[in-house]
A and B are shown apart, each in its own frame.
Chain A
Amino acid sequence: MNKINHDQLLSLEHPFIKIPVEKFRSSLKTEQKHIEKEIAHLTNTVSEISKKSQHGIMDANQVQTALEAIVSRLSTLKRRLTETRAEESLYSQRTKVRLQHLQEFTAIPTLDSDEFGRWSRVRLNRILIDYMLREGFRETASYLAKSENMEDLVDIELFVQSAKIEQALNKYSCSECLQWCNENKSSLKKIKSTLEFSLREQEFIELARERRSQDAIAYAKKHLTPWQETHMKELSQVMALLAFPPDTKCQPYKRLYDKSRWRNIISQFRSNNFALQFFTPEPLLNVTLQAGLSALKTPMCYLPEHRNINCPVCDPHTLGLLATDLPLSHHFNSSIVCRISGQIMNEDNLPMALPNGYVYSYNALAQMASLNGGKITCPRTGAVFDIAQVKKVFIS
């Protein structure tokens, strides 16, 4: 029971191990693109110089100057690439650290070992940092990562750009997000994103709101027509806004003018951004917490007389409230927990019934009897019995 199924638990770590690798890959691609472009340019320039010098248009001195220009161009590129290269080594290093972290996990034998507890606490911090970053609590996320010395295990900087874009969208500005769309054009196409259309549509709506019809038409000609094949219906609908004032009660135009569309754009951007970077669409905290609360939830958790202060779901103000809409756990096998000691009753710690039918573990009753001259007080009813009156219970 306490053995760890490493394979199963590791299978959950896809984002953890995938995110830095993909960042590494994309940095490498950028670098390679630059270098290839540079090589093509270099080859051309050299052959040109060579031709010119053959035809006597350039003398030896001029050739030297031309070559010097090439060198300085190459050096400029090298400087420009420092950032990309720093990224490469960062993500390469990060991948290595994460692999090590998972490797440490595979060496942990049991769920009740201290190592497992330590590893799980780091994992909880990872999960919490992921949650904070998504909710925009970057200060706490950085502070926690730093103080727990786990900066390579989380992806704080990946949220810096997206936070800026979200801020801009919150202030009703699309340009930052449009630029992002442009930078990630091919990846967005792959996931069949329509974010760019939504942004263009929104910019058009804002022009229509200001009743700048001419500008709106020009904008639509330039930016909306490329979408006519796939979005003709939306296109004609949004064009019709020109005929309706912003305070119209007429649907669907009222809905199009509604400022809440901006919130949808933000969530569209978020889900696209997460998909592109291999983050899960929902915070890991929500996913694991739902699974955990469901697994722990029993009908007893909501009955005050059965409340166990150690049970997370039994707290009616915190996790119990979060668990209200989740399914209950299900059991085909009995497991009996002692209401005195909290220990599981089994062959090593037999369940014993008092004459009133209340069942407690042998160990707890024996300890109580030894401290009270052989007498036992039933904690739920207050009845007092002699230890000799208890009877073994068999649970199969």
Chain B
Amino acid sequence: MEAFVKDYDKVIKKQRMLETNDPLDRLINIVNEAKDKIRADPSSVSASLTALGKTIKTVSSGISEEHKELQSALSKYSKAIDKRFTGDMIAAINPHAFDNKENILRNTIAMHFIRQGNFEIGDTFAKEAGLKLPESMRHKFMEMFEIVEALKVNSLEPALEWSTRHRRELEKRSSILEFKLHRQRYLQLLEASRKEDAIAYAKQNFGYFGTRHTQEIMRLMGCLLFFDRIKSSPYADLIAPNANADIQHMFTRDFCSLIGLSCESPLYISVTVGTQAMPTIIKMSSIMKAKKTEWSQQSELPVEINLTDDTKFHSIFACPVSKEQATDENPPMMMVCGHVICKESLVKLSRSVPNGRLKCPYCPTESMSSQAKNVYF
């Protein structure tokens, strides 16, 4: 990228030169000068005009030279772009995959803005595209963003109020949000040197969590010993610098999970994964085009696209022996030693041993194939 920026800076320099030294101004000036000369000395008409003709010639050749330089710098730059940015995205699209699904896509876009807290943009879009957004979603996200805004300025009360109200549902999802919020409030009091208030707060609120979070509460109370120097005590980890961001994230995640939605905008995830997948898909589709097939018409991609850990949502088990993906008919089986292979591979391996005791392909353990059991990921 550096090289492009430098090349382009050259273009800009040339453009500035033309801008500050306007060719038309230059022409106007020389004509005016000739005119002034003639006015001052009418007898010099013919000499002045000849001189003017000559100056026009030199000035204009200078002007077209400058223009040419600028244009050639620009076209050089433009060609360099074509060389460098080569992704032919069109090879990688099935123009009919979304046919008759415009409204699904548009609804997803509108919801994306609502989910980001961009309510006005979501509304403008819905209006322009003629969509009806469910009011209830909008209200829920408005509530969520109000609480998040409060969390941003370290005000935990709205979040606490919400999580106490939804205690049952949260616990069912083994959420620890409510406790984390109380813990944060307690630590806030300590940090503000309000020791007495902190103790009172702990007394009032930690009791409910006594059985589930015993260890954590012990530590929280233990840090009172180092009240004035927690940061240099064994309890320093309690005061994490990004505690606020963490709790915002935990709240958003739990809030969305409670209303049955993902924590991150699905549109954002899909497009971000898509841009990462594009280079591979472009390469693959150009190979497939050469073989006169279309990737988008296949039931399965012929190549593997690596996903980052945060975009892996389903367990994939590919048998290390056969390299095939597990299915209901060919499920993963765990041998006695704990290694997992697919059923078909297990059957094949046990066929080749006479006494039925097969050696695990990955460790020295021998076992009967009947001892292997189904595992569920």
Contacts and interface: CB of A to CB of B under 8 A. Distances in A.
A binds B: yes
Interface of A: 1-2, 5, 8-14, 17-18, 21-22, 24-25, 28-29, 32, 35-36, 38-39, 42-43, 46-47, 49-50, 53-54, 60-61, 63-64, 67-68, 70-71, 74-75, 77-78, 81, 85, 88-89, 92, 95-96, 99-100, 102-103, 106, 111-112, 120-121, 123-124, 127-128, 131-132, 135, 137, 139-140, 143-144, 147, 280-282, 284-296, 298-301, 306, 308-315, 317-319, 321-322, 325-337, 339-340, 342-344, 351, 353, 357-359, 368, 370-372, 380, 391-396
B338 interface: yes
B111 A288 contact: no
Contacts of A139: 124, 128
Contacts of A295: 273-274, 276-277, 301, 305, 307
A270 B266 CA distance: 30
Contacts of B316: 298, 331, 333-336
B81 A21 contact: yes
Interface in B17-46: 19, 22-25, 27-28, 31-32, 34-35, 38-39, 42-43, 45-46
Nearest to B295: A327
Given A28-B71, A288-B274, A298-B316, A12 B35 contact: no
B49 A49 contact: yes
Contact of B12 (A21, A96, A143): A96
B278 A328 contact: no
A372 B214 CA distance: 11
A281 B327 CA distance: 39
Nearest to B263: A310
Given A60-B45, A99-B5, A331-B318, A315 B266 contact: yes
Contact of A144 (B12, B85, B121): B121
17 contacts: A11-B279, A35-B23, A39-B56, A42-B60, A78-B24, A103-B2, A111-B276, A112-B310, A123-B271, A124-B268, A293-B270, A295-B305, A329-B305, A335-B307, A336-B317, A337-B315, A337-B377
A46 B27 CA distance: 12
Given A282-B90, A333-B304, A394-B340, A296 B279 contact: no
Contacts of B278: 9, 12, 287-288, 291
B24 A77 contact: yes
B17 to A, nearest CB: 13
Contacts of A351: 377
A8 B302 CA distance: 20
B104 A371 contact: no
Which 5 A-B pairs give the minimum distances between C-beta atoms?
A292-B274, A312-B266, A311-B313, A288-B274, A60-B42
A236 B274 CA distance: 48
